[in-house]
Amino acid sequence: MKGSSAALRFGVAVLGVWVVVAIAAPWLSPYDPLQQQIEARLQAPSLAHWLGTDSLGRDLLSRLLYGARPTLLLVALVATVMAPIGLTLGILGGYFSGGLDRILSGLTNVVMAFPQLVLALAFVGLLGPGLLNVALALILTGWPAYARLSRAETQLLRRSDYIAAAEMLDIRGPRLLFGHLLPACLPALRARLALDLAGVVLTAAALGFLGLGARPPTPEWGTMVAEGGRVVFDQWWLAAAPGAAIFLLSIAFNSIADGLRAGNSHAG
Amino acid sequence: MSADIAIEELHFSFNAGERPVTLFDKLKLTVGRGETFGILGPSGCGKSTLLRIIAGVQRHWSGRIRLFEHAIVPGARFKGALRREIQMVFQDPYASLHPLHTVERALTEPLVVHGVADAGTVALERLQEVGLSAHLARRYPRELSGGQRQRVAIARALLLGPRLLLLDEPTSALDLSAQAEILNLLNRLKRSHDMTLILVSHDRGVIAHLCDRAAVMQGGRIEKILHRSELSQV
Amino acid sequence: MPDEASKLLVRELTVRSAAPGERALVDGVSFAVGTERVALVGESGSGKSLTARAILGLPSPPLTAVAAELRFGAIDLQDLDARAWAALRGSRLSLVLQDPRRSLNPVLTVGWQLHEALQLHGRYSRAERLERIEAMLHSVGLAPSVLSLYPQQLSGGMGQRVVLAMMLLNGPGLLIADEPTSALDVSLRDQVLELMCGLVSAHGTGLLLISHDLQQVARHCDRVLIMYRGRIVDTCPAAALPLSTHPYTRTLWSSRPNGRTYGTELPVFDPT
């Protein structure tokens, strides 16, 4: 039990640091991330530039700090839209059964049959690159997991005594679904969401790497890894730094998920 | 004694795997006005299912059931006065209180849903009526003892002024001293509220302590009815 | 199974949780069990199960257990490593838990597990083992056909008999039973308990029975220890229970509902 809260604290702490970095990037960055200084390109880390400069002479540290923004924005967008949609659809299907459940389950299964990255690629390919489109792609391909989870939980909870008790007191409809069933579904959902967000960070970076993410010159970790990849044998830090950032953020979510899941199994 | 509850020709079956199993076949039962009626039997005899049928929670039965002046239709949810008049206390107090709702919410929500004025005050009154102090209102079920949780469950069942109170093994999950407290509470409430009680238990002592009459149930059938004179020998 | 070697001696056993400032869960408990049937009775929170676990070296962290003296015959129970415990448990010191499903391995047949119990602690030929097993099954009232069944195929009562057989096969000096009948139907409880007590007496084994049911243990045990909030508050011979003058014991004894208490208020213990 101690181990789980340590994981949770670690994850939240690291995430907190990134959030602060993203918000305070203008004040923390020593240079303007878009300012090019071609004469100073591809410099090794030094006192002037802690992480060196990239192929256009832009300070890598500043780009790294600003790069937290699109990633975190994406994560926030996906988290706040994807989970509620899936949750609601799952609860509705799980509680009402019958025709509604069959339609929703069918839809869930169809979307789930496609691998998320491939589907996201297709979406972005169709809609064009850009942060919003990546978010949309991830939301549209990610909600089924939550629908399935909350549907299973709801079906289980429907038989529980406290739902029967609520029924006997004539508590029904939206009040029952959102006041009683939904809160009971949340613990399992939270742990799953944290884990998914770790994956979202990686998928977003992958899409950025493929040039389908934020448009240049906006600093974005995935794109930066791609740029750094071109000179990786000589200026390895250009790919390593954003890579480490992606890793750290993803690990933060993984730790949070770990801590939440362990917390759930103890509270249950 | 006019019968408050009359059950006749009750038939109930369920699916165990693929095979349908008949639990009740032509079950007949009557409970009189203001009686405390017990149903005694081992686990699996069907006593809890019978209670849930009377409660309107289990709706896939056939036969004839009359609860007070209402004739119950199989498959239909209880509505209106009927729904208010029949309430139940479940066996496991932790499972019957929503783990994420405070005691206050558990007691005020039903009142709010039924448009009772001043729900907060009424809820506190009910809480004190079952012997709990007001400061427990903000606690969650996991912060209460088994006996306290069961008291909250009883208070909740009494919120809408039921005429029939169903109790499904109300003390089976409790310690001996918690059980004694709950039984004392039920005895007191029986006298102060005008209610008919149906109590299900596998414990002969509990049935003999609370009930005026009791049905002995085995394998979905009522073997015999024990009257007060026989119960006092237990 | 000599008498003195079977004596369990517990002196000032204390079990604490990691949370600072909280009262000890088991507070300075002392008692001894010889070749007799002793019951440790209390309600939930009294610390009775923790006491049993501490004696068997089983408390899970963050709980810590310490005792001034904790001996089984000549063996110091506080001084055993994992291997020594493995050799002791199941052979000279046995444990029966509430739920037989937790003592039996679901993927092995009953026969396999009974043979294994003998193999771990002694050297017998297969024929000798089978003989002992069949004799034991007979004394717990089970047919030899049960050997080919898996634990899930057994009813609660049968499962508990199998566990009993398994735990008594090696002729232990002491059997500790933690609420062995609580998970069984009311009608089976007395039967299984009677069987347990009968076997224990016949084999010269001591019994430490943990229970919350005072009236049940009064029927089957020689001596009763009553626990309340971590302490032993009363000890008395089983026969003297109805006459006890200790307030808590009296309440536990007389707060059982029955036909004669109809309409009366049951006594409730007032700690003040």
**A interface test, pick of B113, B142, B168 with most A CB neighbours within 10 Å:** B113
Total residue length of chain A: 268
Nearest chain B CA: its distance from C66 CA (Å)? 28
Residues 141-180 of B with CB under 8 A from C: 146, 175-180
CA angle A78, A112, A198 (to 5 degrees): 40
Taking an 8 Å cut-off on Cβ atoms, the answer to whether C268 and B177 are in contact is: yes
State residue A202 phi and psi, 5-degree precision.
Answer: -70, -40
The tokens for B152 are: 């909250």
| CA–CA dist B152, C57 (Å, integer) | 39
Taking an 8 Å cut-off on Cβ atoms, the answer to whether A184 and B98 are in contact is: yes
Q: Which of B84, B92, B110 sits opposite A171 (nearest CB)?
A: B110
Nearest chain A CA: its distance from B227 CA (Å)? 31
Structure confidence at residue C108 as a pLDDT band (50, 70, 90): very high
Provide residues of A within 8 Å CB-CB of chain B: 160-162, 164-171, 175, 179-180, 183-184
Is residue C73 a contact partner of residue C6, using CB atoms and an 8 Å limit?
yes
Question: Which residue, C177, C43, C265, is CA-closest to B174?
Answer: C43
CA angle C247, C250, C252 (to 5 degrees): 110
CB atoms within 10 A of CB C155: 12
**Longest distance between any two alpha carbons in chain A, whole Å:** 77
Nearest chain B CA: its distance from C109 CA (Å)? 25
- Which residues of B fall within a CB distance of 8 Å from A180? 98, 101
Q: At what angle do helices A60-96 and A131-158 cross, to 10 degrees?
A: 30
How many CB contacts within 8 angstroms connect chain A with chain B?
56
pLDDT for residue C1: 41
Taking an 8 Å cut-off on Cβ atoms, the answer to whether B110 and A160 are in contact is: no
- Which residues of B fall within a CB distance of 8 Å from C268? 177, 180-181, 184
Nearest chain C CA: its distance from B72 CA (Å)? 33
Tell me if chain C has a CB within 8 Å of the CB of B209: yes
Question: Does pLDDT of B220 surpass 50?
Answer: yes
Burial of residue C264 (number of CB atoms within 10 Å: 0-12, 13-18, 19+): exposed
Structure confidence at residue B112 as a pLDDT band (50, 70, 90): very high
Burial of residue C107 (number of CB atoms within 10 Å: 0-12, 13-18, 19+): exposed
Tell me if chain C has a CB within 8 Å of the CB of B32: no
Structurally, how many domains does chain B consist of?
1
Taking an 8 Å cut-off on Cβ atoms, the answer to whether B98 and A171 are in contact is: no
pLDDT for residue C124: 86
Distances, alpha carbon C242 to alpha carbons C12, C48, C252, in Å = 28, 22, 10
Mean pLDDT of B56-72: 91
- Find the CATH number of the domain harbouring B44: 3.40.50.300
Burial of residue C142 (number of CB atoms within 10 Å: 0-12, 13-18, 19+): buried
Distances, alpha carbon B209 to alpha carbons B183, B191, B233, C51, in Å = 8, 15, 11, 34
CA atoms within 13 A on the CB side of B230: 11
Taking an 8 Å cut-off on Cβ atoms, the answer to whether B202 and C257 are in contact is: no
CB atoms within 10 A of CB B21: 11
- DSSP collapsed to 3 states, chain C: CCCHHHCEEEEEEEEECCCCCCCCCEEEEEEEECCCEEEEECCCCCCHHHHHHHHCCCCCCCCEEECCEEEECCEEHHHCCHHHHHHHECCCEEEECCCHHHHCCCCCCHHHHHHHHHHHHCCCCHHHHHHHHHHHHHHCCCCHHHHHCCHHHCCHHHHHHHHHHHHHCCCCCEEEEECCCCCCCHHHHHHHHHHHHHHHHHCCCEEEEEECCHHHHHHHCCEEEEEECCEEEEEEEHHHHHHCCCHHHHHHHHCCCCHHHCCCCCCCCCCC
| CA–CA dist B127, B149 (Å, integer) | 11
**CA-only gyration radius of chain C, Å:** 19
| CA–CA dist A146, A103 (Å, integer) | 16
State residue C205 phi and psi, 5-degree precision.
Answer: -95, 145
- Neighbors of chain B with 3 or more C-beta pairs under 8 Å: A, C
Question: Whole-model pTM?
Answer: 0.80
Closest CA in chain B for residue C44: B175
Nearest chain C CA: its distance from B52 CA (Å)? 22
- DSSP collapsed to 3 states, chain B: CCEEEEEEEEEEEEEECCEEEEEEEEEEEEEECCCEEEEECCCCCCHHHHHHHHHCCCCCCEEEEEECCEEECCCCCCCHHHHHHEEEECCCHHHHCCCCCCHHHHHHHHHHHCCCCCHHHHHHHHHHHCCCCHHHHHCCHHHCCHHHHHHHHHHHHHCCCCCEEEEECCCCCCCHHHHHHHHHHHHHHHHHCCCEEEEEECCHHHHHHHCCEEEEEECCEEEEEECHHHHCCC
Q: Which of C256, C259, C267 sits opposite B233 (nearest CB)?
A: C259
Question: Does pLDDT of C5 surpass 70?
Answer: no
Tell me if chain A has a CB within 8 Å of the CB of B55: yes
Mean pLDDT of B204-229: 93
The tokens for C235 are: 């000890």
Taking an 8 Å cut-off on Cβ atoms, the answer to whether B175 and C43 are in contact is: yes
pLDDT for residue C272: 63
Distances, alpha carbon C257 to alpha carbons B4, B89, B209, B211, C53, in Å = 27, 19, 5, 11, 31
| CA–CA dist C192, C177 (Å, integer) | 12
Tell me if chain B has a CB within 8 Å of the CB of C202: no
**CA-only gyration radius of chain A, Å:** 22
How many Å from the N-terminal Cα to the C-terminal Cα in chain A?
13
Question: Does pLDDT of C43 surpass 60?
Answer: yes
* Residue range C132-165, pLDDT digits in tens: 999 989 888 899 999 999 998 888 888 889 998 9
**CA-only gyration radius of chain B, Å:** 18
- Which residues of B fall within a CB distance of 8 Å from A164? 52, 57, 88, 90, 96
Mean pLDDT of C120-141: 88
Question: Which residue, C171, C146, C169, is CA-closest to C159?
Answer: C146
Nearest chain C CA: its distance from B57 CA (Å)? 26
- Which residues of A fall within a CB distance of 8 Å from B104? none
Taking an 8 Å cut-off on Cβ atoms, the answer to whether A162 and B96 are in contact is: yes
Closest CA in chain B for residue C213: B176
| CA–CA dist B100, B107 (Å, integer) | 13
Q: Which of B42, B175, B209 sits opposite C258 (nearest CB)?
A: B209
Mean pLDDT of C56-69: 81
Nearest chain B CA: its distance from A93 CA (Å)? 20
Classified as helix, coil or strand, A94 is helix
Tell me if chain C has a CB within 8 Å of the CB of B181: yes
**B interface test, pick of C266, C269, C270 with most B CB neighbours within 10 Å:** C266
| CA–CA dist B88, B54 (Å, integer) | 10
Mean pLDDT of C160-189: 87
Nearest chain A CA: its distance from B232 CA (Å)? 33
Question: Does pLDDT of C207 surpass 90?
Answer: yes
Element (H, E) at A135: helix A131-158
| CA–CA dist B167, B131 (Å, integer) | 19
- Neighbors of chain C with 3 or more C-beta pairs under 8 Å: B
| CA–CA dist C173, C189 (Å, integer) | 24
Question: Which residue, A159, A168, A176, A173, is CA-closest to B55?
Answer: A168
Taking an 8 Å cut-off on Cβ atoms, the answer to whether A166 and B98 are in contact is: yes
Nearest chain B CA: its distance from C263 CA (Å)? 7
Mean pLDDT of B117-144: 92
| CA–CA dist C122, C69 (Å, integer) | 29
Provide CB contacts within 8 A for C258, sequence distance 6+: B204, B205, B208, B209, B234
pLDDT beneath 70, residues of chain A: 1-4, 265-268
Nearest chain A CA: its distance from B123 CA (Å)? 14
**B interface test, pick of A158, A167, A170 with most B CB neighbours within 10 Å:** A170
Q: Which of C185, C251, C257 sits opposite B177 (nearest CB)?
A: C251
Give the ipTM. Answer: 0.87
Q: Which of C259, C265, C269 sits opposite B177 (nearest CB)?
A: C269
Residues 26-65 of C with CB under 8 A from B: 43-44
List the domain range (segments joined by +) for residue B73: 3-231
Nearest chain C CA: its distance from B102 CA (Å)? 24
Taking an 8 Å cut-off on Cβ atoms, the answer to whether A162 and B97 are in contact is: yes
Mean pLDDT of B126-140: 93
Structure confidence at residue C2 as a pLDDT band (50, 70, 90): very low
Taking an 8 Å cut-off on Cβ atoms, the answer to whether B203 and C252 are in contact is: no
Classified as helix, coil or strand, A147 is helix
| CA–CA dist B87, C113 (Å, integer) | 48
pLDDT for residue B4: 84
Burial A225-253 (b: 16+ CB within 10 A, else e): bbbbeeeeeebebbbebbbebbeebbbbb
- Which residues of B fall within a CB distance of 8 Å from C259? 205, 208-209, 231-234
Residues 207-246 of C with CB under 8 A from B: 212-214
